[in-house]
């Protein structure tokens, strides 16, 4: 029995050494030293996707004064599809959403892609996955009725201003960066999100190129 175990152990060791030798000799993919990289790095707040309806004066009158509002919404936070193309060829696709259990915290994007040195067309597209025809944006510029006086005075304007502020703080429903860029050897070109202009920006040694919201 001991001899059988010794022979089995020796056979297993020989097989392991043979596998190690084979994998050591196998050719592996590597990144050439003169290659470049395209890096995506940004943080942004997700948009809150809400289904909204405008309450009638009768419905508002039935509520406590501090609970009255013209527009009532419910919903969650958006998720986004990311697609990266170089020379019209997809090199990366993913879905990302906000952090936290409710996905209401900022989204953090950090992706890195190898790109050959030289001039290439770069396209980075971010698209909100959820669609709705009656979200908060539809109520951003409401027509103020005659009843917006007395107890309701200024409420519609305040609600519209708050919804507009929230929309500006979130990443737009669609972003597109589409440009031609010359990558130099060992260069890291950075794509970030400019929260003030609400666009994607490609940073390189010669300056920056901004995309556009769509």
The average pLDDT across 72-86 equals 89
Q: How confident is the model at residue 29 (pLDDT cuts 50, 70, 90)?
A: very low
User: Considering all CA atoms of the chain, what is the largest pairwise distance in Å, rounded to the nearest integer?
Assistant: 99
Percentage of the chain modeled with pLDDT above 90: 38
**Which of residues 191 and 76 earns the better pLDDT score?**
191
- Find out whether 176 and 124 touch, Cβ atoms under 8 Å: yes
Asked whether the CA dihedral 59, 61, 62, 68 is positive or negative, the reply is positive
Going by C-alpha positions, the residue among 92, 78, 171, 205 that lies closest to residue 129 is 78
Q: What is the pLDDT of residues 195-210, one digit of tens each?
A: 889 999 999 865 666 6
User: Tokens standing for 80?
Assistant: 């986004």
User: Tokens standing for 111?
Assistant: 């992706």
- Find out whether 179 and 186 touch, Cβ atoms under 8 Å: no
Separation CA 119–CA 179 (nearest Å): 10
Domain residue spans of the chain: 33-213
- Find out whether 102 and 22 touch, Cβ atoms under 8 Å: no
Q: What is the DSSP letter of 198?
A: T
Q: What is the pLDDT of residues 101-131, one digit of tens each?
A: 888 899 999 999 999 999 999 999 999 998 7
The average pLDDT across 44-54 equals 82
Q: Which of helix, strand or coil describes residue 205?
A: coil
**Which of residues 91 and 134 earns the better pLDDT score?**
91
Above 50 in pLDDT, residue 143?
Answer: no
Going by C-alpha positions, the residue among 30, 32, 214 that lies closest to residue 123 is 214
Predicted model pTM: 0.64
Q: What is the pLDDT of residues 153-190, one digit of tens each?
A: 565 566 666 666 666 678 899 999 999 999 999 999 99
Q: How confident is the model at residue 20 (pLDDT cuts 50, 70, 90)?
A: very low
Q: How confident is the model at residue 30 (pLDDT cuts 50, 70, 90)?
A: very low
Separation CA 123–CA 175 (nearest Å): 10
Above 60 in pLDDT, residue 76?
Answer: yes
């Amino acid at each position: 029995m001991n001899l059988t175990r010794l022979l089995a152990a020796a056979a297993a060791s020989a097989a392991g050494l043979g596998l190690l030798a084979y994998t050591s000799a196998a050719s592996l993919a590597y990144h050439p030293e003169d290659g470049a990289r395209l890096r995506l790095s940004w943080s942004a707040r997700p948009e809150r996707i809400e289904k909204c309806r405008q309450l009638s004066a009768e419905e508002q009158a039935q509520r406590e004064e501090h609970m009255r509002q013209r527009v009532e919404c419910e919903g969650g936070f958006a998720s986004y599809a990311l697609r990266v193309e170089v020379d019209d060829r997809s090199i990366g696709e993913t879905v990302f959403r906000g952090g936290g259990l409710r996905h209401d915290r900022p989204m953090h994007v950090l992706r890195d892609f190898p790109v050959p040195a030289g001039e290439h067309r770069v396209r980075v597209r971010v698209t909100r996955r959820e669609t709705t025809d009656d979200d908060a944006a539809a109520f951003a510029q409401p027509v103020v009725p005659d009843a917006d006086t007395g107890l309701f005075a200024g409420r519609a304007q305040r609600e519209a201003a708050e919804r507009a502020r929230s929309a500006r703080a979130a990443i737009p429903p669609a972003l597109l960066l589409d440009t031609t860029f010359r990558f130099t050897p060992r260069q890291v070109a950075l794509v970030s999100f400019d929260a003030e202009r609400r666009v994607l920006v490609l940073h390189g040694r010669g300056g920056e190129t901004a995309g556009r919201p769509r």
